[in-house]
Structure 1
Amino acid sequence: MKLDLPKITASELQRLLSDGKITSLDLVRQYHDQILKHNDRLKAMISISPLPHLEKIAAKLDDERRRGVVRGGMHGIPFVVKDAMDTSSEFQLESTNGGWAFVGSQPRETATVVRMAVDAGLILMGKANLSQYGNWKASGMSGGWSARGGQTQSAYVRGGVVDDGIYGHSNPSGSSTGSAVAISAGFAPLSIGADFNGSLTNPATRAALFTIRTTPGIVSEHRGFPFSKNRDSVGPMAKTTDDLVKLLNVIVDLSHPEVPDQGYNTSFSRDWKDISFATIDPHHWHLPEAVQKPQPGALDQIIRETLAAYKKIASLAKRVVGPVDLISDETLDESMDDVLTTIKNDFSTLFEAYTGGLNSPKVKTLAGLINFNKQHREIELPDCSPKQDKLIQSLEDANSLTDAEYDRLDVKATVSAADDAIDKMLREHGVDVIIGPADSRLPDVVALASKLCALSVN
């Protein structure tokens, strides 16, 4: 059976598998062929699993199914994972986070989230390209670009990325870029990415997908490339909310106190009339011209369609209020600067802890990484992305804060976005959800709030 890979969902595939109309062996062959056919242009995948390896895993899972052993609702379904997640040698894939310094590094452990997925019967098709080091290499770096993977292209944009800003309308956004493009291009029906401030929600929105930036900690970040000490989030992407929840339930830590005992599909409401919403003003909440150059009619269309979505939701929901005043630009700027100060304080130490889990690291310290990039300037610092100022600033500011200074900045930023913004709006207006354009600074607010999650819908 020939499948329409860009359209078919994981749940539809599972029904075909259960009915015996297709096998996982068929799936990996079709998805692998799709990757080889289109990835040279899209550059969504940075490492592709060898077909014989995939066929061996798929055949084993098919045999289990024939014997009546089905590991769960995702048994035999292909997925991809952001190249920020380590995989050990058994997967026959590199783990580089987009940098040449990590080629051949051989992680000793596989990231917990990947291990949980494959133990549940999912099949890893490969690693997805990304904004290098989670967009913590250089200011002004294009979304979805890495030295090793090149510039990821949207499956929906003719002509590819042009010079319209680092998150311009032609850009697939980042940093979990390949995780989104891979699904929209039919390389897999599911993916896993990671997020600090929009790295899941923005690429998913531009690829017409669903994602959730989970509350930090409910999905393990173990053996993921580090970005921050307490604000990193790992989450799924999918074409439907049903698939999104099913994959989330596979990778979530069910022992976490904030996770429902039986997972998320047992507790969410399917009735719009149960939910109240607050909206934010799309005339104000959009990306600044510094990162997204204006295109004729584009912003007007975004505003118009956002307001139309609000109107549609108002006809379905229990109640809709707004627009509400969530947080001032000045407070948001100040709080983000505070958090970035803590990240620069932590990054060098987190980096060394990460490289300590590699069998054959070319670099072990942040200083070593910076020097490697200088020594390999032609591939790591090309004309299209010649800077590494974020790495340099992180080295200069490493461990520069006292514990008291660190706590003050961290708590102040969290309170500004959680207690004084999101929680305040939910409480004052008696609503359950705050909605607004993903292509805005709303993901910054969620990142600062830390304890909360964000859902991106297509």
Structure 2
Amino acid sequence: MLYRPPNFDVLTETAGSIAKSLQSGDKTSEEVVRAYLDQIEKHNKKGFELRAIISVSEDAALSQAVRLDQERKDGKLRGPIHGIPIILKDCIQTSAELGMPTTAGAAVFKNAIAREDAEVVRRLRDQGLIVLGKASLTEFCGAKAKETTAGWNAVNGQTQSAWIHGGKRKDDMYYGRSTPGGSSSGSAVGVAAGFAPLSVATETGGSCCLPANRSGLYSVKLSHEPQLLNGVLPLCLAFDGLGAMARSATDVENLVKAMAGSRKIDVRDLEWKDIRIGFVEPAEFGVVPADENKRDGSHHQIVSFARESILRSSLNILR
């Protein structure tokens, strides 16, 4: 059993609240890292068996925490989330220094160690983030097969939602309500279950926002930046993007800033000059007739069902 600091609840702490405790001297990054490692040990493959984490970088994380604690004592702060633990979706490369493979959830990559950190990992570490572990995901970010259940992969099995008692139902399909959503399943469940206060995800078509929503988290997909995607498993070069998850909007903001590094763009400094906004004509770019007929049928069916339900309820009251 690892040491857990007093008055520290991994299920409710935010990166912001932890940062305040670190700055006041109430806690150290080493203590915080140990608390999250303790929670992972309890409920990742034991306890509730959430399977949100594929691999953990315990030695490297503790070593980095000690170094960052010393930097804080010396008056050196790298940023607002200096010394805060984070988990990364396991399709983002991490070097041998961190001691974890980059699997994408595939058995063929189970022992694959990258030569260097992905660009986003380098930026996060430069900002003082502590990489705690690699989060589970739908295998190959959901690209292996359309029948693959959200959160399942050959390396780690099925990630379970931290909010669903009993886990995924056997009859639920890919995006069934009892699944954690995907493909960044472990990134979301890991934060919700108190394995880390922050996580990095990826998204091509909903892979960050959907699981974050199902775990009750704040999230955002970053604008497409090819350089930032160096070292990240590609799916679609035009739509791939990194994502950030946390328990508060402020935490998401600070994480996005850390991921952006020195690249600063403030849209308030831009102008609308020479920019045109296009609108489509609904009659020309609307849904196809066959789909429209289905929608009309669904509408009538829903209204009819609602009327019957209201009528039955009214009759029961009168009785």
TM > 0.5:
yes
Counterpart position of 2:122: 115
Q: Check if 1:260 corresponds to 2:269.
A: no
Counterpart position of 1:145: 152
Structure 2: how far apart are the matches of 1:134 and 1:330?
30
Structure 2: how far apart are the matches of 1:219 and 1:10?
26
Counterpart position of 2:315: none
How far the C-alpha of 1:103 sits from its partner, in A, is 2.3
Counterpart position of 1:386: none
How far the C-alpha of 1:53 sits from its partner, in A, is 2.4
Q: Per-residue CA shift, 1:30-88, capped at 9, x if unaligned?
A: 000000100010000011112x3222111111011111111110110000000010011
Q: Which amino acid aligns with 2:19?
A: Q
Counterpart position of 1:6: 11
Q: Per-residue CA shift, 1:107-141, capped at 9, x if unaligned?
A: 11211111111111010110000011110001111
Q: 1:252 to 1:85 in 2, by over 3 A?
A: same
**Which structure has the larger Rg over C-alpha atoms?**
2
Q: Which runs of 5+ in 2 are unaligned?
A: 270-281, 292-319
Please list every run of at least 4 consecutive aligned residues from structure 1 whose deviation after the TM superposition is greater than 4 angstroms.
327-331
Q: 1:88 to 1:69 in 2, by over 3 A?
A: same
Counterpart position of 1:82: 89
Structure 1: how far apart are the matches of 2:104 and 2:286?
34
Q: Per-residue CA shift, 1:136-178, capped at 9, x if unaligned?
A: 0011110011100110000010010012221111010100110
Q: Per-residue CA shift, 1:383-404, capped at 9, x if unaligned?
A: xxxxxxxxxxxxxxxxxxxxxx
Structure 1: how far apart are the matches of 2:152 and 2:288?
30
Contact 2:95 2:114 in 1 (8 A): yes
Of 200, 207, 222 in structure 2, the residue corresponding to residue 214 of structure 1 is 222
Of 116, 126, 133 in structure 1, the residue corresponding to residue 133 of structure 2 is 126
Say which SS state the counterpart of residue 150 (structure 2) adopts. coil
Q: Which amino acid aligns with 2:38?
A: D
Counterpart position of 2:180: 172
Counterpart position of 2:74: 67
Structure 2: how far apart are the matches of 1:201 and 1:72?
26
Q: 1:181 to 1:329 in 2, by over 3 A?
A: farther
Q: 1:254 to 1:218 in 2, by over 3 A?
A: farther
Say which SS state the counterpart of residue 220 (structure 1) adopts. helix
How far the C-alpha of 1:255 sits from its partner, in A, is 3.5
Q: 1:219 to 1:185 in 2, by over 3 A?
A: farther
How far the C-alpha of 1:203 sits from its partner, in A, is 0.2
Contact 1:219 1:253 in 2 (8 A): no
Q: Which runs of 5+ in 1 are unaligned?
A: 268-323, 334-458
Say which SS state the counterpart of residue 33 (structure 1) adopts. helix
Q: Check if 1:201 corresponds to 2:206.
A: no
1:221-260 residue pairs with structure 2 within 5 A?
221-252=229-260, 254-255=262-263, 259-260=265-266
Of 136, 142, 152 in structure 1, the residue corresponding to residue 143 of structure 2 is 136
Counterpart position of 2:302: none
Contact 1:82 1:192 in 2 (8 A): yes
Q: Among all aligned residue pairs of Structure 1 and Structure 2, give the percentage whose two residues are the same amino acid.
A: 38
1:15-94 residue pairs with structure 2 within 5 A?
15-40=20-45, 41-50=49-58, 52-94=59-101
Say which SS state the counterpart of residue 85 (structure 1) adopts. coil
Counterpart position of 1:298: none
1:430-445 residue pairs with structure 2 within 5 A?
none
Q: Which amino acid aligns with 2:79?
A: G
Q: 1:329 to 1:234 in 2, by over 3 A?
A: farther
Counterpart position of 1:450: none
Structure 1: how far apart are the matches of 2:226 and 2:195?
27
Cα RMSD for the two superposed structures: 2.1
Contact 1:81 1:191 in 2 (8 A): yes
Structure 2: how far apart are the matches of 1:254 and 1:69?
18
Say which SS state the counterpart of residue 32 (structure 1) adopts. helix
Contact 1:219 1:235 in 2 (8 A): no
Structure 1: how far apart are the matches of 2:10 and 2:288?
45
Q: Which amino acid aligns with 1:212?
A: V
Of 79, 89, 95 in structure 1, the residue corresponding to residue 102 of structure 2 is 95
Of 184, 187, 190 in structure 1, the residue corresponding to residue 195 of structure 2 is 187
Structure 2: how far apart are the matches of 1:111 and 1:63?
26
Structure 1: how far apart are the matches of 2:235 and 2:106?
15
Aligned pairs, number: 268
Say which SS state the counterpart of residue 228 (structure 2) adopts. coil
